[in-house]
Amino acid sequence: MGRDAGVAGAGAGGERVVVRVPGPLDLRRTTAPLGHGPFDPAYRVTPDGAVWRATRQPSGPATLRLVQTAADLVEVTAWGPGAGDALTGAPGLVGADDDAASFAPPPGPVREAWRRTPGLRLTRSGRVLEALVPAVLEQRVVTKSAWAAWEWLLRRHGEPAPGPTSGEMPSGMRVPPSAEVWAAVPVWDFHRAGVDPARARTVVGCARLAAQLERTVTLDPAEAMRRLTAVPGVGQWTAAHVAQRAWGDPDVVTLGDFHLPAQVGWALAGHAVDDDGMLELLEPYRGHRQRAVRHLLAAGGWRVPRRAPRATAADYRRF
């Protein structure tokens, strides 16, 4: 776990380390929660299987290229002023710090899903605002609309991602804005991105508290959740997304989701349930409830019947 190789040097080739993961790894599935749609300017997967991530670290912007070279090895290359910090956080990003030793699901759908997806690990980005803003944008709207807003805002207010000069990096990658830039985004740009005033106010409020919120990665999960949900506009649903992506919390369950209770219900009980029913079904996996859900969703093999037309996206730019 951690780095097997030291920094290989900077320059055109970037800085490079090799991370060993304690067990099999599916790099794409592990890092997938960090992406927000197929056109996310900060997260791309190229045809060769490499995962690219643009991020803003305490020391500055950085671009990461992650390539799985063996079942338990990932080569990580970083460019930009924040490359050193990004490489320090690379083990958490690829799930090398994820401890599943105490996860022993009893016979049933979760154990079968776990058996079928052995390389899925829980990512931990350590970057709270980068997880929080897209989660706020996804509140109460169709996911594709939130993805489009995230893309528009990054292209408008992010900055070009640092990277190699060889042309191997996907074009158009952008580093998410700093907290100061998020706090200064004018209301009309949120409007043009299709973001309603309530979510816009929450993004700006989170940005103004970013220094405090970033420190939640070092806190007890209960205290971290209390501080996060004390921010106006941040509820349990949004906080859970941050806990799962930035903190790597293996247990927190997303409550208030439109789809998740039905998905878990059909997977574990053969019928839809509400939040309380979902928590009851997941109780045997306490301590690893997020892990159980991730494996269930990744393995599939069950289907939620459709009984209503798909929701339509609200276009707030008309108002």
Confidence grade of residue 3 (pLDDT, cut at 50, 70, 90): very low
pLDDT in tens, 25-58: 999 999 999 999 999 999 999 999 999 999 999 9
State yes or no: pLDDT of 109 exceeds 50: yes
**Beta strands per DSSP E along the chain:** 2-5, 15-20, 43-45, 51-57, 60-70, 73-79, 159-160, 174-175
3-state SS class at 171: coil
Q: What percent of the chain has pLDDT over 70?
A: 92
- Quick one: pLDDT at residue 165? 79
- Quick one: pLDDT at residue 301? 78
- Quick one: pLDDT at residue 305? 83
State yes or no: pLDDT of 160 exceeds 50: yes
Structural contact between residues 36 and 85, judged by C-beta atoms closer than 8 angstroms: no
Bridge partners for 75 per DSSP:
18, 67
Give CA angle at 273 (268, 275), nearest 5°: 105
CATH number listed for the domain at residues 2-106: 3.30.310
- Quick one: pLDDT at residue 5? 38
Domain boundaries, the chain: 2-106, 128-247
pLDDT in tens, 222-268: 999 999 999 999 999 999 999 999 999 999 999 999 999 999 999 99
State yes or no: pLDDT of 10 exceeds 50: no
Q: What is the distance between the alpha carbons of residues 273 and 45, in angstroms, rounded to a whole number? A: 34
pLDDT in tens, 200-229: 999 999 999 999 999 999 999 999 999 999
Q: What percent of the chain has pLDDT over 90?
A: 88
The total of other beta-carbon atoms located within 10 Å of residue 146's CB is 24
Confidence grade of residue 9 (pLDDT, cut at 50, 70, 90): very low
Average pLDDT over residues 149-155: 98
Q: What is the distance between the alpha carbons of residues 228 and 243, in angstroms, rounded to a whole number? A: 10
Residue with tokens 């019928």: 271
CA distances from 115 to 75, 252, 269 (A): 26, 22, 19
- Helix, strand, coil content of the chain in percent (nearest 5): 45, 15, 45
- Quick one: pLDDT at residue 304? 84
CATH number listed for the domain at residues 128-247: 1.10.340.30
Q: What is the distance between the alpha carbons of residues 79 and 65, in angstroms, rounded to a whole number? A: 9
3-state SS class at 205: helix
Average pLDDT over residues 56-80: 98
- Quick one: pLDDT at residue 1? 42
pLDDT in tens, 283-306: 999 999 999 999 999 999 778 887
Q: What is the distance between the alpha carbons of residues 47 and 219, in angstroms, rounded to a whole number? A: 38
Instruction: Answer whether 2-106 and 128-247 agree in fold.
Output: no
Average pLDDT over residues 168-178: 96
- Quick one: pLDDT at residue 8? 40
Q: What is the pLDDT of the chain when averaged over all its residues?
A: 93
State yes or no: pLDDT of 311 exceeds 90: no
